[in-house]
A and B are shown apart, each in its own frame.
Chain A
Amino acid sequence: MSDLTRKTAVELQELMTSGQASSVEITQAHLDRIAAVDDSVRAFLHVDSEGALAQAAAIDAKRAAGEKLGPLAGVPLALKDVLTQEGVPTTAGSKILEGWKPPYDATVVKRLKAAGIVILGKTNMDEFAMGSSTENSAYGTTHNPWDLNRIPGGSGGGSSAALAAYEAPLAIGTDTGGSIRQPGAFTGTVGVKPTYGGTSRYGLIALASSLDTPGPCARTTLDAALLHEAIAGYDPMDSTSINQPVPAVVEAARRGDVTGLRVGVVKELGGEGYQPGVEARFHEAVELLTKLGAEVVEVSCPHFQYALPAYYLILPSEASSNLAKFDAMRYGLRVGDDGINSAEKVMNLTREAGFGDEVKRRIMLGTHALSSGYYDAYYGQAQKVRTLIQRDFANAYEQVDVLVSPATPTTAFPIGDRADDPIAMYKNDLCTIPVNLAGNAAASFPCGLADEDNLPVGFHVMAPVMRDELLYTVGAALESALAEQWGGVLMAQAPELEVTR
């Protein structure tokens, strides 16, 4: 049944409950698909065939025994390599962790396992999630299934590319400045950054602790909502976790009713620097929402223009400290341990050899920004900007229920295009970064192809803290209306990948 890989998670669950397919068959179909196309897509860093099939068999056995199972039990998933999974190699895309097998599961992974979700393997990413293209991965670039010469976005390019290549129906990403949403936009898939604290960071290898948020990726809004529900909720192991019920995301995704919903178009996120095809699809989607009964207004968030510089002070500051632990002493790479070199020398040699350029760049930036004498001007000032951006959001949410913008200024760019221009690369995250600084929820939903290049455009929805369900309301409404226009889902318009094996 080769078409098992074309199904949504919801459809797969129906096949399993009606006895038309087993989890082992579904898992095997996806493993076969990975074997067939991943030489050209390179979404996975590690495929755990044995573990996945064992998990699938266990679920099949439970189902056969009549146990009550969750809505995603037996459905396969691709896991971003930044989350620890006990006994499975975890690298965060870095050489410095090559060969490390964590002795523990991240909370998100524990919840996936508890939900009976089958973990196929670990997906590629920019090293320590620093990047917007996966070109910073120490293990090579992932290719965009819509055009293999283009990047799939980043840092979670592997997870989104796996969805777009039908290698998995579900994936987990992490979003620090757009690392779920931007790859979602570039691959024509759904990517959701939950409210900061809505999903546990325990076991997420930290980039910037105050920004990192794990979240669901899928090809449909409802699949994403089901996955969201499976992984979200309070975790006593994460002090920053919010002790409140998970927002009713699945119900919102099923209803998708935007009647009376107040939608604010962010004035500052558009215009110069935005690709015309991106803007065209975005505005059409906004009009569609109006037709569906939403009340659309324009909203100004004047401090968003300072988000990028503030982000590039806060993130490197936290990262410089978070990445200090990679020192060759307890795990991972060790270079220069010749019995003569001091521990300090071994630390230096290991970090020199184990970290890539972008990681070193950000460690240096952060170390400088936190230095005595510079702290107030850099880190301190950036925190003030953060407060101003939070106020912008608070003011906006007094007028509207959700904010919208394009997810990215452009569509997926060619591999190598911006590799030597960090600023151009950073600008890719203009629309997504403000949300992380404020800790709000946001998502990217496919809204069509840009006329210039026939590549997917993402529609960005932002919602207040712990109002994640509003994202799914908008996403589901848009999804069904657009599917009517297109006569099917956007992904159906993606080119067929050549099967290489």
Chain B
Amino acid sequence: MTAAVLEIDDALAQYDPVMGLEVHVELNTRSKMFCGCPTEFGAPPNTQTCPVCLGLPGALPVVNARAVESAIKIGLALNCEIAEWCRFARKNYFYPDMPKNFQTSQYDEPIAYNGWTEVVVDGETYRIEIERAHMEEDTGKSTHVGGATGRIHGASHSLVDYNRAGIPLIEIVTKTIEVPGDKAAAVAKAYVSMLRDLLLALGVSDVRMDQGSLRCDANVSLKPTGSATFGTRTETKNVNSFRSVERAVTYEITRQAAVLASGGKVVQETRHWHEDTGITTSGREKSDAEDYRYFPEPDLVPVAPSREWVEEIRSSLPEAPTLRRVRLQEEWGFTDLEMRDVVNGNALEPIVATVELGVTPTAAKKWWLGELARAANESGQELNALGVGPAEVAEVQKLVDAGSLNDKLARQVFDGLIKGEGTPAEIMAKRGLALVSDDSALIEAIDRAIAANPDVVEKVNSGKPAAAGALIGAVMKDMRGQADAAKVRELLNAKLGI
């Protein structure tokens, strides 16, 4: 059942959207938040469990210090204050995939709070205020079997895998985001995308969105244009790709606008995002009756990171991705458009590494965004999965610089590299790709070209030296491209006396 929606332009003409984004990040610690169980993704169900993460009677949690460190890193990178003293709290509710029927989380004492960050959309910078970043544990994973939809409704039974129970999570919550309506969805997408880059740069999460290690809940409400009063919000759960974040926010704007425009009221509820159809549907209603009975976790002692430790972590933080990008663009002399292509093409890190090996930024960009991106695209692979790394790119470029290859031949070398035919040198030998630098062979080819094109020679002799280009083309063709065009020109000009 599809809800009525307005066109996005019509919606934004009448209403201003207000957003809040909650992002859950699975940390990449080797062990779980409160026990020593491993955290590898994809292990057989219930093989990475122990009395603690199964919530067996008598078992007790112990905080993973590495997870606290990661939380502090994230907090610092988001310009947050780091609590001098904070506690975990129990969030009480019953659900079969939650072993203790409470989640050990943080409530009114988050480890990091009051931060901010920035995202750039269409050249404009938008500041996003961060409310908090807190530590918690993930739940187990329920699989509902026997129904048509895979949801609990209509299922004959459910299976629970507790491997995920107790995986450390950081929940990052923004304050309300109010940006021009036509930018809202793009800002939401840019924010999540920025977080991904940041988390990768910090090394605290693998951020595999396909494995659910970064999950976004998008709160959206509308208020009449110019109004100061917030409307009723919905919370769209588990939006798990950048594009979906953008689509889900847009969808909720258009849906809520249709509800309001027809005189209806937006229901405060959680909504499910449907990747396939691009719509949200009603989940459970969130009423005031929902009471998690939070109280300080008595099984854990407070977390009190010393200021020395926090400063030590701060000084070890890598450069923020946004700032780094600005710096690199300046150093490389790329235009905004070029830089955007590099970032969107996931070519930033490969180019950085290639430039570090002595290749010019322009040449590095040429290979990564040209030949290699095309090959990746054709085979449906990630750029970093092609089997060609910065070292290979640098090696090929060195051969070009030395005059052993030209760009056209270099492309064939890359093709060979992708197909696993060996090193660039081996491929050149196997495919016979080396440029002919032997003058006598070139002079023979030039002689053949002159003999075959008397009309062109005529034109040159009659005072039109530019016509010689056609002869160069003929020589290159004769040499099957394996000649240095500059060398050919030099020899030809000598021959023709120009």
Q: Which of B285-332 contact A (CB under 8 A)?
A: 291, 293-295, 298-301
A104 within 8 A of B: yes
Stretch at the interface among B57-65, B73-81, B477-485: B57-65
Residue ID in chain A nearest B35 by CB atoms = A237
Residues of A within 8 A of B61 (CB): 239
Instruction: Using A367-B293, A371-B291 as known contacts, say yes or no to A236 and B57 having CB atoms under 8 A apart.
Output: no
When the two chains form their complex, are residues A239 and B301 in contact, meaning their CB atoms are under 8 A apart? yes
Interface residues on B, range: 20 to 34
When the two chains form their complex, are residues B299 and A239 in contact, meaning their CB atoms are under 8 A apart? yes
Instruction: Using A321-B102, A344-B94, A347-B94 as known contacts, say yes or no to A239 and B63 having CB atoms under 8 A apart.
Output: yes
Stretch at the interface among A46-54, A258-266, A327-335, A493-501: A327-335
Residue ID in chain B nearest A106 by CB atoms = B58
Which of A97, A202, A331, A375 is close to B295, meaning CB atoms less than 8 Å apart?
A: A375
When the two chains form their complex, are residues A372 and B59 in contact, meaning their CB atoms are under 8 A apart? no
When the two chains form their complex, are residues B58 and A206 in contact, meaning their CB atoms are under 8 A apart? yes
A64-104 interface bits toward B, Cβ cutoff 8 Å, 1 = contact, 0 = none:
00000000000000000001100000101000010010111
Give A375 to B291 CA distance when docked, in angstroms: 11
When the two chains form their complex, are residues A371 and B293 in contact, meaning their CB atoms are under 8 A apart? yes
Residues of B within 8 A of A240 (CB): 298-301
Which of A104, A321, A344 is close to B51, meaning CB atoms less than 8 Å apart?
A: A104
Interface residues on A, range: 35 or more
Residues of A within 8 A of B56 (CB): 84, 102-104, 330-331
B237 within 8 A of A: no
Give the most central of B58, B62, B294, B301: most A CB within 10 Å. Answer: B58
Instruction: Using A344-B94, A370-B92 as known contacts, say yes or no to A239 and B300 having CB atoms under 8 A apart.
Output: yes
B9-45 interface bits toward A, Cβ cutoff 8 Å, 1 = contact, 0 = none:
0000000000000000000000000000000000000
A455 within 8 A of B: no
Residues of B within 8 A of A347 (CB): 94
Give A321 to B59 CA distance when docked, in angstroms: 14
A30 within 8 A of B: no
Give A367 to B94 CA distance when docked, in angstroms: 13
Which of A324, A327, A331, A372 is close to B291, meaning CB atoms less than 8 Å apart?
A: A372
Instruction: Using A239-B60, A347-B94 as known contacts, say yes or no to A379 and B300 having CB atoms under 8 A apart.
Output: no
When the two chains form their complex, are residues B92 and A239 in contact, meaning their CB atoms are under 8 A apart? no
Instruction: Using A103-B51, A367-B293 as known contacts, say yes or no to A325 and B100 having CB atoms under 8 A apart.
Output: yes
A183-204 interface bits toward B, Cβ cutoff 8 Å, 1 = contact, 0 = none:
0000000000000000001111
B420 within 8 A of A: no
Residues of B within 8 A of A205 (CB): 57-58
Residue ID in chain B nearest A332 by CB atoms = B57
When the two chains form their complex, are residues B57 and A209 in contact, meaning their CB atoms are under 8 A apart? no
When the two chains form their complex, are residues A238 and B60 in contact, meaning their CB atoms are under 8 A apart? yes
- Say whether chain B's binding surface is mostly helix, strand, loop, or mixed: loop
Residues of A within 8 A of B54 (CB): 330
A343 within 8 A of B: yes
When the two chains form their complex, are residues A325 and B291 in contact, meaning their CB atoms are under 8 A apart? no
Q: Within the complex, what minimum Cβ distance (angstroms) separates A217 from chain B?
A: 19
A318 within 8 A of B: yes
A390 within 8 A of B: no
When the two chains form their complex, are residues A324 and B57 in contact, meaning their CB atoms are under 8 A apart? no
Residues of B within 8 A of A375 (CB): 293, 295
B158 within 8 A of A: yes
Q: Within the complex, what minimum Cβ distance (angstroms) separates A404 from chain B?
A: 29
Which of A103, A209, A237 is close to B298, meaning CB atoms less than 8 Å apart?
A: A209
Q: Which of B405-447 contact A (CB under 8 A)?
A: none
When the two chains form their complex, are residues A90 and B298 in contact, meaning their CB atoms are under 8 A apart? no
B247 within 8 A of A: no
Residue ID in chain B nearest A84 by CB atoms = B58
Give A97 to B58 CA distance when docked, in angstroms: 12
B189 within 8 A of A: no
Give A317 to B102 CA distance when docked, in angstroms: 13
When the two chains form their complex, are residues B100 and A324 in contact, meaning their CB atoms are under 8 A apart? yes
Residues of B within 8 A of A325 (CB): 55, 57, 99-101
When the two chains form their complex, are residues A202 and B90 in contact, meaning their CB atoms are under 8 A apart? no
Give A330 to B101 CA distance when docked, in angstroms: 12
Residues of B within 8 A of A320 (CB): 92, 293
B147 within 8 A of A: no
When the two chains form their complex, are residues A102 and B57 in contact, meaning their CB atoms are under 8 A apart? yes
When the two chains form their complex, are residues B293 and A370 in contact, meaning their CB atoms are under 8 A apart? yes
When the two chains form their complex, are residues B94 and A324 in contact, meaning their CB atoms are under 8 A apart? yes
Q: Within the complex, what minimum Cβ distance (angstroms) separates A484 from chain B?
A: 43
Residues of A within 8 A of B58 (CB): 83-84, 102, 104, 106, 202-206
Query: Beyond the given A97-B57, A330-B55, could you list 7 further A-B residue pairs with CB under 8 A, ordered by the A residue number?
Result: A84-B56, A84-B58, A208-B298, A238-B60, A240-B301, A321-B295, A372-B291
Please report A residues at the B interface, Cβ cutoff 8 Å: 83-84, 90, 92, 97, 100, 102-104, 106, 201-206, 208-210, 236-240, 317-318, 320-321, 324-327, 329-331, 343-344, 347, 367, 370-372, 375, 379
A-B pairs with beta carbons under 8 Å apart, 7 shown: A84-B56, A209-B298, A240-B301, A318-B295, A321-B295, A344-B94, A370-B92
Q: What 9 A-B pairs are tightest by C-beta distance, nearest first?
A: A324-B101, A209-B298, A370-B293, A210-B298, A203-B58, A205-B57, A84-B58, A372-B291, A325-B100
